[in-house]
């Protein structure tokens, strides 16, 4: 399985910035890559995530929406 997290974000999203502050140290420790996807680029993504961002999606399709802690994401990465 590819060790890639997707972070669904939006423009001027202060919660997304907080999420990245949590995620970047974790992914560097675990050897994961973070791909940021701006939901404004897709009408489907805006409808799906518009009120939920930031949302982290794992390669297996599982998702964790905000709010989340470093410990919660760390447990997901250990899967």
Instruction: Give the number of residues written for the chain.
Output: 79
Identify the weakest region by mean pLDDT among 13-17, 19-23, 30-34: 30-34
Q: Taking the CB of residue 37, how many other CB atoms lie within 10 A of it?
A: 17
Write down all domains in the chain, each with its CATH number in brackets: 4-77 (3.40.30.10)
Q: Which pLDDT tens digit goes with each residue over 52-65?
A: 999 999 998 999 99
Name residues whose C-beta falls within 8 Å of residue 30's C-beta, 6 or more positions apart in sequence.
3, 74, 77, 78
| Global pTM value | 0.91
């Amino acid at each position: 399985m590819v060790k890639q997290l997707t972070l669904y974000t939006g423009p001027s999203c202060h919660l997304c910035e907080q999420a990245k502050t949590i995620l970047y140290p974790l992914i560097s420790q675990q050897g994961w890559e973070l791909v940021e996807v701006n939901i404004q680029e897709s009408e489907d993504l805006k409808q799906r995530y518009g009120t939920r961002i930031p949302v982290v999606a794992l390669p297996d399709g599982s998702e964790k929406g905000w709010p989340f802690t470093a410990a919660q994401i760390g447990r997901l990465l250990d899967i």
